[in-house]
């Protein structure tokens, strides 16, 4: 390949790279322009994103299950957590009773109670 044709190929590659860079810049500007509109082209998913484990939905508890978990935790370590459990229940149910806690808050309540440790 002659020097001139090699130089011409390099210039063509440079022009192509410049066009790609300009296109990317415009896409970034549009994306970060502050509008909440969806991008014109949906992003392509990579195989790694497709293979990523999906989060499991939070477990749904019945009132009886929650009551059992609370009682078990309150009686652990000779009742050391009894006041903590009561305070957490009051936090989720303004009346201080499990009856006052909304069923949709059971998972968060159980999670918080299970987080109590002797540390």
Q: Closest by alpha carbon to 62, among 101, 112, 116, 113? A: 101
Give, for all 119 residues of the chain, the pLDDT tens digit.
Answer: 688 888 888 888 888 888 888 888 888 888 777 655 555 555 555 555 555 566 656 678 888 998 998 899 888 878 888 888 888 888 888 777 888 888 888 888 888 888 887 65
* Model pLDDT, residue 106: 87
* Model pLDDT, residue 68: 92
Overall pTM > 0.85: no
* Model pLDDT, residue 36: 56
Cα(59)–Cα(28) distance, integer angstroms: 39
* Model pLDDT, residue 49: 56
Q: Closest by alpha carbon to 66, among 44, 85, 52? A: 85
Structural contact between residues 63 and 89, judged by C-beta atoms closer than 8 angstroms: no
Strand, helix or coil for residue 24: helix
């Amino acid at each position: 390949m002659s020097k001139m044709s090699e130089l011409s190929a390099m210039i063509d590659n440079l022009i192509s790279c410049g066009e790609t860079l300009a296109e990317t810049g415009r896409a970034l500007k549009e994306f970060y322009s502050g509008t909440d509109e969806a991008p014109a082209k949906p992003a392509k998913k990579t195989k790694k994103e497709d293979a990523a484990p999906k989060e499991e939905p939070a477990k749904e508890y019945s009132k009886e299950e929650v009551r059992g978990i609370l009682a078990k935790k309150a009686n652990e370590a000779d009742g050391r957590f009894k006041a903590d459990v009561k305070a957490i229940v009051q936090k989720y149910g303004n009346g201080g009773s499990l009856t006052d806690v909304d069923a949709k808050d059971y998972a968060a309540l159980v999670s918080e109670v299970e987080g109590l440790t002797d540390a």
